[in-house]
């Protein structure tokens, strides 16, 4: 990120905020830069902006430029139709692969197969908001950049590759970081100490066989991560088998692979978290 800021000239902000402090910070940043931008899309480091190719029925990197081109001068541009927010219309997620993870300790995201593309309509439209920058002060930006009912907007052709599911050990590490940042556990906790804190938090002492009530889980930020980590602590082998149980589709996106290889070769510092 320092390279992106210092060498590439990207507008990078560093912060020591934890996940409990991030929502007001995101909203503050969005409100500040809103007047000098048109739309804001909050993505994580394992998410990549695409546009859906309706003819090929694939996500496309090259179409991003064409999709955005002309917005400033074209009053009938697709992104001007609602006057408010949009939501990401398509997503394609990675599929975990035991084989890929066994062959490398830190494999590139392009090594992982992809699941089928999902069109995000109805309830699924809550995945990601494309915020109208001038209305951020009204809606705010939530932790995942997800849609809430008041900011559903209309479906767009904007798509996102989401390389979240990759290696089990990465999933465990990233989950622990997240719930530590929420202050649910401490980085210095032993496994037993961490488990005890989660049991007290969710009121369940056998996560391998009992799911916490939806009502309790709904009150806890990132509760799905808390539950995942508790299950890992109590039944790690079972969790690992479930994680890799999905049969890989073998789907790949050659255009995105070529693009990412070009980026990695050009800058030599690129790595997905």
Please provide the average confidence, as pLDDT, over all residues in the chain.
Answer: 89
Tell me if 244 sits within 8 A of 93, measured CB to CB. Answer: no
Q: What is the pLDDT of residue 114?
A: 96
Q: What is the mean pLDDT of residues 77-90?
A: 80
Model confidence band, residue 272 (pLDDT cutoffs 50, 70, 90): low
Q: What is the pLDDT of residue 233?
A: 98
Condensed to tens digits (0 to 9), the pLDDT of residues 131-142 reads: 888 888 888 888
Please state, in angstroms and as integers, the Cα–Cα distance from residue 166 to each residue in 6, 148, 160, 272, following that order.
30, 28, 16, 11
Condensed to tens digits (0 to 9), the pLDDT of residues 235-265 reads: 999 999 999 998 878 899 999 999 988 887 8
Q: What is the pLDDT of residue 9?
A: 86
Model confidence band, residue 196 (pLDDT cutoffs 50, 70, 90): very high
* HEC profile of the chain: CHHHHHCCCCCCCCCCCCCCCHHHHHHHHHHHHHHHCCEEECCCCCEEEEEEECCCCEEECCHHHHHHCCCCCCCCCHHHCCCCCEECCEEEEECCCHHHHHHCCCCCHHHCCECCCEECCHHHHHCCEEEEHHHHHHHCCCCCCCCCHHHCCEECCEEEEECCCCCHHHHHHHHHHHHHHCCCCCCCCCHHHHHHHHHHHHCCCCCCCCCCCHHHHCCCCCHHHHHHHHHHHHCHHHHHHHHCCCCCCCECCHHHHHHHHHHHHHHCCCCCC
Hey, what are 145's tokens? 């950049």
* HEC profile of 101-154: HHHCCCCCHHHCCECCCEECCHHHHHCCEEEEHHHHHHHCCCCCCCCCHHHCCE
pLDDT for residue 151 is more than 70: no
pLDDT for residue 60 is more than 90: yes
Q: What is the mean pLDDT of residues 50-63?
A: 95
pLDDT for residue 270 is more than 60: no
pLDDT for residue 205 is more than 80: yes
CA proximity to 207, closest of 219, 220, 222, 224: 224
């Amino acid at each position: 990120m320092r390279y992106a800021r210092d060498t590439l000239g990207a507008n990078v902000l560093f912060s020591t905020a934890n996940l409990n402090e991030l929502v007001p910070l995101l909203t503050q940043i969005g409100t500040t830069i809103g007047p000098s931008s048109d739309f804001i899309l909050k993505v994580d480091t394992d998410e990549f902006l695409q546009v859906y190719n309706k003819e090929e029925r694939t996500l496309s990197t090259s179409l991003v430029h064409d999709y955005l081109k002309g917005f400033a001068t074209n009053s009938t541009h697709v992104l001007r139709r609602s006057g408010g927010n949009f939501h990401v219309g398509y997503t394609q997620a990675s599929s975990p692969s035991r084989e890929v993870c066994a062959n490398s300790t830190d494999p590139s995201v392009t090594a992982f197969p992809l699941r089928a593309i999902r069109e995000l309509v109805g309830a699924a439209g809550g995945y990601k908001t494309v915020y109208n920058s001038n209305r951020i002060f009204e809606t705010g930006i939530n932790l995942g950049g997800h849609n809430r009912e008041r900011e559903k907007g209309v479906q767009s052709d904007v798509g996102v590759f989401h390389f979240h599911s990759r290696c089990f050990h990465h999933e465990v590490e990233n989950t622990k970081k997240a719930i530590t940042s929420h202050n649910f556990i401490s980085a210095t906790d032993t496994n037993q100490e961490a488990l005890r804190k989660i049991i007290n938090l969710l009121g369940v002492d056998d996560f391998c066989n009992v799911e916490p009530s939806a009502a309790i889980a709904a009150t806890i930020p990132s509760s799905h991560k808390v539950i995942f980590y508790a299950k890992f602590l109590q039944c790690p082998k079972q969790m690992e088998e479930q994680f890799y149980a999905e049969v890989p589709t073998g789907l790949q996106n050659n255009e995105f692979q070529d693009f990412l290889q070009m980026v990695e070769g050009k800058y030599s510092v690129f790595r997905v978290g």
